[in-house]
Amino acid sequence: MNDVLINSIAVLAGLGFAVGAMLVAASRIFKIDSNPLIDEVAELLPGANCGGCGFAGCAACAEAIVESGAPVNSCPVGGFETAKEIGALMGQEVSESEPEYPFVRCNGGKSCVTLYDYEGVDGCKAALMLCDSRKGCTYGCLGLGTCVRACKFDALSMGEDGFPHVNKNLCTSCGNCIAACPNEILTFAPDTQKVHVLCRSHDKGKQVKAVCENGCIGCKKCEKECPADAIKVTDFLAEIDQEKCTACGACAAVCPQGIIEVR
């Protein structure tokens, strides 16, 4: 009986020792020389792994910042604060950049004609493949919420009116929604830009009117009204030169379609 006890202890202890020695040796052989700075930078990043920076995740982003010289403000989620901390770690100065939020360039939604009932795969990309959108307007929002699902921060919601709304308090400017939209409805706009055209249709006025109540018909009223000469209608769509715009709101006042938004 004693023999069994001693043997058991000896065998297991020996096994443990042998295995331990082997692992120590292996960890020496397969050691990875990683820069400790990478871990410190990764520590400062938000850790949401949203991919907004364009890298595979926060760890990959930290690696890129330290190893391959990606800018210290690569992380759109962390914003200025994070960039400053990482900059301090990396010995770089960071200048503040204004926060940018996605902005929806379509105001159609329910007021845009729906051509047929779509019952296919749930998602805008698939719906867009079928006869160039289920909406009358091929430029417009399909309203199936691919962007809403792409958002990892619950900042987007599909409104009653049939197009997405951005909650700026939750938005981290990661850009996932912009990448997800197959119809390029969403785009980044800094918060300081006050005036926006809520349409991206280049169709002629008559065509737009036939399918959508809230589309730009290219009437050029805004262009004539603008005192700063900041608005231009090209290919039946008003475009605002944000550098010249003084946010006076004159264009919004004359727009017959009511699609120029002044925040």
Partner 1 sequence: MVEKALFTIMLEGVFVKNFLLIQFLGLCSFVGVTKDVKSATGMSGAVVFVLAMSATVSFALFNFVLVPLKLEFLRTIAFIVVIAALVQLVEFIVRKHVPALYRSLGIYLPLITTNCAVLGAVLLNVMNDYNFVQSVTFGVAAGLGYTVAMLMMAGIRERSNIVNVPKAVGRGVTYAFFVATIMSMSFVNFFGVIPLE
Cα 81 from chain centre: 19
Q: Select 56 or 179, whichever has its Cβ closest to partner 1.
A: 56
Cα 20 from chain centre: 47
Contact of 179 with 51, CB cutoff 8 Å: no
x/- string (CB under 8 A) for partner 1, residues 11-40?
A: xx--xx--x--xx--xx-xxxx--------
Q: Select 30 or 95, whichever has its Cβ closest to partner 1.
A: 30
Smallest separation (angstroms) from partner 1 to the CB of 250: 48
Kindly identify the residues of this chain, within the stretch 112-171, that bind partner 1 according to CB under 8 A. Answer: 120-122
Contacts of 55 (CB under 8 A, 6+ apart): 61, 63, 64, 70, 74
**Could you tell me whether strands 186-190 and 237-240 are parallel, antiparallel, or unpaired per DSSP bridges?**
unpaired
Smallest separation (angstroms) from partner 1 to the CB of 186: 23
Contacts of 16 (CB under 8 A, 6+ apart): none
Determine if 4 is a binding residue for partner 1 (CB under 8 A).
yes
Q: Select 29 or 256, whichever has its Cβ closest to partner 1.
A: 29
Structure tokens at 238: 């008003």
Q: Select 11 or 88, whichever has its Cβ closest to partner 1.
A: 11
Binding site for partner 1 (CB under 8 A): 4, 7-8, 11-12, 15-16, 19, 22-23, 26-27, 29-32, 56-57, 59, 120-122
